[in-house]
Chain A
């Protein structure tokens, strides 16, 4: 029981962490809660399904499962990066110097728009993510069953987080992102093109969400135009738990939330999964609004 829930928790927690990173990176750089971020995740799931379907029709005899997964991930990440880029350009950049509430309302608008857009384009019925692997169980110890997909998701999430860490800490764009997050004016005077850095931040956050979308679609097998809402709020909870604006915080927050949810589902009742998640959000906001690793928000504002 314990190990089973641990694995389940890590799987879902990794996905929450990937989505939470997008919230936290965008918040860190322009202090906006991008409420449309959950929809990007949903679009990633659709993009993955469409890419696989396209490949299977176009290539006679279909494609091997591993290639299908890689293709779905690639397509989702590219499509989502494009959506993230466009969203920032059209809905947030014109409001850069507006009062803080304006871009927030714009974000809600984008969220509703994207949900309805996908609903019209893809229909209201659930879409099935193709069964690529015959539900392969990696190992089965009687009480603990771990699927290949779970292992792939956990490993994939950790790899992406490690890669992100490398980008943020050791590349030119990463340094520029950190500088921009701390002081946009000083960053610009160091020769950093701030608008460009903000675009890249949205794109990186979105491609992580896109990857998360494909992973979840693969895990649960079903996708719907409305899945971005709950996943978005859960990931937001994870970001707040870790300390919004703090990148390691989002990773840790996502993992903790996934584990708590999964242990709660296992030891209490599966119906309480969401109750646990949102109780955490309320408790964090009441007791430690700055989150586990976050700085004091009042200081920054």
Chain B
């Protein structure tokens, strides 16, 4: 599905990521872990076209995408969420999700003024899909509230719903559990699994080791911009280099999660 080969991103002399290789396989959850500053979010930014990689190739569904602008990459079937939530705060919850479906909307001015049947049908389809997505993330009751008024955990799930609205084949989740309580996190785990079970490939950055170890099909560990390990959760847990990279509390978490 997604193949990242020898991708590097340098900011001046800083090697944010250096010759990273990652493969996200169809309908599997690939975890991306590593200490803060390991280059995980930078990699997401390269994949989604926010910043071009300095070198290397990113191939999605057999096509190179490393030089495409962000909106084209989204239209090809890649959606993402952000570490620091970036919902449209001044839109309602439902509007946020509808905006995620932007590329599928056609509605022009004529249709809006005259309420043409085509527009109504199309609008109805997109709205139905959006409402369905809100149902899946348990946000139906608040769908007409402004997004900025939602509690933190709800905003995170809204961002996931918005990403799903574009009908992506690959979903990038950047620390979706950050700031969530244990109950919310376990609901989130079920949500991520159900997204995968629908055939959507997932690339997941997360610091919550329990979550990563229990839902990922494979894991890639980055440290200082380089891949230091790769394998199943079981293999990663026993990897000496990973344990060293995660000294202290993280160490215990990796060992016992």
Chain A interface (Cβ < 8 Å from any Cβ of B): 163, 166-167, 170-173, 175-176, 178-179, 182-183, 185-194
B91 adjacent to A191 (CB under 8 Å): no
CB-defined contacts of B89 to chain A, threshold 8 Å? 182
A166 adjacent to B88 (CB under 8 Å): no
Is B98 part of the contact surface with A, judged by Cβ < 8 Å? yes
B79 adjacent to A166 (CB under 8 Å): no
B70 adjacent to A166 (CB under 8 Å): no
**Contact for A175 among B79, B95, B106, CB less than 8 A:** B95
Distance (whole angstroms) from the CB of B174 to the closest CB of chain A? 11
B107 adjacent to A171 (CB under 8 Å): yes
CB-defined contacts of A192 to chain B, threshold 8 Å? 71, 99, 102
**Contact for B88 among A172, A173, A179, A191, CB less than 8 A:** A179
| Interface hit among B108-116, B205-213, B245-253 | B108-116
Is B90 part of the contact surface with A, judged by Cβ < 8 Å? yes
The 8 nearest A-B residue pairs measured at CB: A191-B103, A188-B70, A191-B74, A186-B86, A172-B105, A170-B112, A182-B88, A193-B71
Distance (whole angstroms) from the CB of B105 to the closest CB of chain A? 4
Distance (whole angstroms) from the CB of B121 to the closest CB of chain A? 15
Count, chain B residues at interface, CB 8 A:
34
**Contact for B69 among A171, A186, A188, A190, CB less than 8 A:** A188
A178's nearest neighbour on chain B, judged by CB, is B91
B74 adjacent to A182 (CB under 8 Å): no
CB-defined contacts of B49 to chain A, threshold 8 Å? 188
A190 adjacent to B112 (CB under 8 Å): no
A178 adjacent to B112 (CB under 8 Å): no
CB-defined contacts of B88 to chain A, threshold 8 Å? 178-179, 182-183, 186
Chain B interface (Cβ < 8 Å from any Cβ of A): 48-50, 69-71, 74-75, 79-80, 82, 86-91, 95, 98-100, 102-103, 105-109, 111-113, 162, 165-166
Distance (whole angstroms) from the CB of A158 to the closest CB of chain B? 15
Distance (whole angstroms) from the CB of B82 to the closest CB of chain A? 7
B112 adjacent to A191 (CB under 8 Å): no
A183 adjacent to B102 (CB under 8 Å): no
Cα–Cα distance between A260 and B87 once the two chains are bound (Å): 39
A189 adjacent to B91 (CB under 8 Å): no
Given contact pairs A188-B69, A191-B71, A171 touches B99 in the complex (Cβ within 8 A): no
Distance (whole angstroms) from the CB of A181 to the closest CB of chain B? 9
A179 adjacent to B112 (CB under 8 Å): no
A183 adjacent to B162 (CB under 8 Å): no
A191 adjacent to B109 (CB under 8 Å): no
5 further A-B contacts with Cβ under 8 Å, apart from A171-B107, A171-B108, A186-B87, are: A175-B102, A183-B88, A186-B82, A186-B86, A190-B165
CB-defined contacts of B98 to chain A, threshold 8 Å? 175
B76's nearest neighbour on chain A, judged by CB, is A191
Cα–Cα distance between A186 and B48 once the two chains are bound (Å): 11
Cα–Cα distance between A188 and B166 once the two chains are bound (Å): 12
